[in-house]
Structure 1
């Protein structure tokens, strides 16, 4: 099913080699419960993990309702014209259950191990903007062939895929990338696990909003989608955040209160969750409990407001 209206709830999937029965069970549970999305990370230089887009294709093929995304795609290792074809295929084969997460590249020492050209921060952002533009041109079903002559990507008379352009969410970090996110994309995933109460979010989100408005868009056209983890325990905790203000977790009631407030008071568009039990384990039972107890209650509270 194509994503409906936010807030969205995502389940972070761990994908270590080999494919475990636990992973398959998590996929089945997420598809049958209240989760909207699952996510996989893109670190192809890590030999002990499944390649992200192969894992994503497997997961989409083994689910019927839930959408998926790579959070976020390691663009320097995936040339944009070919990535556009991958995106189109996954979206078409899954019935539109795909969101494109994009990043400009972060761990350059590891990226360079795979032979990619090391880019300056400014050049990486330029390539990032070109990629977003080109992927939009190579999807969407236009009738005219695409020619694109950028600094980093060149395409000559390539036919666009007859598939709608998927939602694009970025892991932007820095003024230029944040402005590109506001002008051209559908969502922003704050980096380093920053949430709605963090200084990073308070100083960065206005740059997204301003760029969206200057492009004739409404800031709400670009959702904030947070990586947000913590413990789900049986009793209220005396403090749900640590001394640095980072969320630690809490009871079902405390989770519901926190996430409802994030949506209603801070405009949160969704949460990619990795919820652990009291022992710190992100196990299947706790993920299912979160889907049963927290997600529907937050949805109901937001709808009732």
Structure 2
């Protein structure tokens, strides 16, 4: 079982400290969420900077809202980050669900799933080195592998889960262990139905805050603001784990379900959490 660290978004400059501490510790991956109409760092830019500040740890979008972006430029950005990080970049993708993000990007909220599938076809073609079209040559640089970096898909609806089998890669599950198992089973069935060999990589996500009461209150306020749009902020806050025992138990539950990695997602800004969480998983 690998354990990664989801980075807070409140202070982009502080993420360099988080990344260096995590790179020196037992963590497998750094994750960063994506929004457009929100006070958060743009994840591809931020992770590129963190790639230069680290040497070992993977860097992962959780998840990049692809339909907000133009696919050929996105393919080029992803391939560049893949190459320059030495293959440490993992592309987590999703469709998003916030109307303001799509309004600001000039994209259609109601066709975002279909747009993601079209984008994946374009990006895979770009990464393979084929000419973009009859009057347009290849778009470089080439990623380290012809299919591009590892791709994870987030989501809960059947079309989102089925993308794992159709496109390969893995599944990013932002769901509690109590019902994540059903999602895992659906993803594994999609993988088999599409004739994939091996098994999908499954990554779970757990929201945590580890520190004093001020830190926990700060984390709850930040997380509550992020999920306010959904009308389910209280439910999400109830799932935040704030003790070493609860965090260890969640990791064990996902291990029992066959997850390959658990991302401990932080909303509190104190970088000392990196060291405290390292002690928990050690």
Q: Same fold (TM over 0.5)?
A: yes
Corresponding position of 1:237? none
* Secondary structure of 1:188's aligned partner: strand
Q: Is the 8 A contact 1:36 1:67 kept in 2?
A: yes
Which of 159, 163, 171 in structure 1 is aligned with 2:154?
171
Contact 1:11 1:274 in 2 (8 A): yes
Instruction: Establish whether residue 229 from structure 1 lines up as the match of residue 207 from structure 2.
Output: yes
Say if 2:184 is the partner of 1:205.
yes
Return structure 1 stretches of 4+ with deviation > 4 angstroms. 231-234
1:128-172 superposed Cα distances (whole Å, 9 cap, x missing partner)? 1222232222224x4x43449xxxxxx954356432210001112
Comparing 254-263 with 98-107, greater Cα deviation is found at 254-263
Separation (CA, whole Å) in 2 of partners of 1:172 and 1:221: 18
- Between the aligned partners of 1:69 and 1:156, the Cα distance in structure 2 is 31
Q: Give 1:25's match in structure 2, choosing from 2, 17, 23.
A: 17
Question: Contact between 1:147 and 1:157, CA under 8 Å: does it hold in 2?
Answer: yes
| Equivalences, count | 258
Match of 1:138 in 2: 126
> Of the candidates 279, 294, 301, which is equivalent to residue 280 of structure 2?
294
Q: Provide the rounded CA distance (Å) in 2 between the counterparts of 1:55 and 1:270.
A: 22
In the alignment, the residues of structure 2 paired with residue 104 and residue 247 of structure 1 have an alpha-carbon distance, to the nearest angstrom, of 23
Task: Tell me how far apart the structure 2 counterparts of residues 52 and 250 of structure 1 sit (CA, whole Å).
Answer: 26
Choose between structure 1 and 2 for higher RCO, CA contacts under 8 A separated by at least 6 residues: 2
1:37 maps to what in 2? 29
Equivalent residue, structure 2, for 1:16: 10
- Shift in alpha-carbon separation, 1:208–1:13, aligned structure 2, 3 A: same
> Structure 1: where are the runs of 5+ without partners?
1-6, 149-154, 235-242, 297-305
- TM-score for both structures, normalised by structure 2: 0.79
Q: Does 1:186 align with 2:169?
A: yes
Q: Per the alignment, do residues 283 and 274 of structure 1 end up closer, same or farther by CA in structure 2, a change over 3 Å counting? A: farther
Shift of the 253–45 alpha-carbon distance from structure 1 to 2, 3 Å rule, reads: closer
8 Å CA contact retained: 1:232, 1:251: yes
Q: Distance in 1 between matches of 2:250 and 2:32?
A: 25
Alignment partners' CA distance in 1, 2:41 and 2:49: 11
Work out which of the two has the higher radius of gyration on C-alpha atoms and give 1 or 2. Answer: 1
SS in structure 2 opposite 1:145?
A: coil
Task: Indicate the RMSD between aligned Cα atoms, in angstroms.
Answer: 3.0
Judging changes above 3 Å, is the alpha-carbon distance between structure 1 residues 37 and 202 closer, same or farther for their aligned structure 2 residues? Answer: closer
Q: Is the 8 A contact 1:146 1:158 kept in 2?
A: yes
Structure 2: gaps of 5 or more residues: 213-234
Higher helix share: 2
Aligned residue in 2 for 1:126:
114
Shift of residue 67, structure 1, vs aligned partner: 1.4
| Contact kept? 1:10, 1:271, Cα under 8 Å | yes
2:97–2:109 CA contact under 8 A, matched in 1: no
Q: Normalized against structure 1, the TM-score is what?
A: 0.74
Report SS of the residue matched to 1:158.
coil
The secondary structure found in structure 1 opposite 2:41 is coil
> Deviations along 1:231-277, whole A, 9 cap, x unmatched?
5579xxxxxxxx99x655365455334413421x201121221358x
| Residue 177 of structure 2 corresponds to residue 196 of structure 1 | yes
- Structure 1's 130 and 254: CA in aligned 2 closer, same or farther, altered over 3 A? same
Partner of 1:162: 142
